[in-house]
């Protein structure tokens, strides 16, 4: 869990209308074992999740050197939250995480103004696979 708390961007894979993976980056925060994110309600990933409420997430680090690669893949069931008050709460929590501070009133108002156009996503892992090439000791 510490790894997920330290990293800042996940890649979300859903299945597009043509049956191919649709990959998109998302900011996220951890809520117990689940991950939360928000996005525009009319986005392709939401249309995909409405058809099939499953996603695979990847969070990775150490991209500069092969021996530093590490990450986690999470197969998830996904719930879409549309209530603007709940969506706004997720948006405020995301902004607090990524700015590192409590938002000033104008910024809070801006986040809450976006909530009716957005949805919140709750990714509940059903399977987690992790890897850490640092443990290989440069022998691959």
What's the Cα-to-Cα distance from 136 to each of 65, 107, 116, rounded to whole Å?
13, 45, 47
Decide if pLDDT at 63 tops 80: no
pTM of structure: 0.92
Range of 97's domain? 2-132
pLDDT digits (tens, 9 = 90+) for 75-118: 999 999 999 999 999 999 999 999 988 889 999 999 999 999 99
Domains held by the chain: number: 1
pLDDT averaged over every residue in the chain: 94
pLDDT of residue 94: 96
For 80-135, the DSSP string reads EE--HHHHHHHHHHHHHHHHSSPPPHHHHHHHHHHGGGEEEEEEEEEEEEEEEGGG
CATH number at residue 39: 2.30.110.10
**Radius of gyration (Cα) for the chain, nearest Å?**
16
Neighbours of 113 (CB within 10 A): 11
């Amino acid at each position: 869990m510490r790894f997920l708390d330290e990293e800042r961007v996940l890649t979300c894979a859903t299945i597009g209308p043509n049956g191919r993976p649709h990959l998109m980056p998302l900011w996220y925060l951890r809520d117990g074992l689940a991950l939360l994110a928000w996005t525009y309600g009319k986005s392709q990933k939401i249309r995909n999740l409405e058809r099939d409420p499953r996603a695979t997430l990847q969070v990775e680090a150490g991209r500069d050197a092969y021996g530093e690669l590490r990450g986690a893949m999470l197969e998830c069931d996904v719930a879409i939250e549309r209530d603007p008050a709940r969506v706004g709460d997720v948006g405020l929590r995301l902004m607090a995480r990524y700015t590192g501070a409590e938002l000033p009133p104008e910024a809070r108002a801006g986040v809450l103004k976006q909530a009716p156009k957005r949805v919140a996503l709750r990714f509940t892992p059903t399977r987690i696979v992790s890897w850490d090439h640092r443990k290989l000791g440069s022998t691959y």
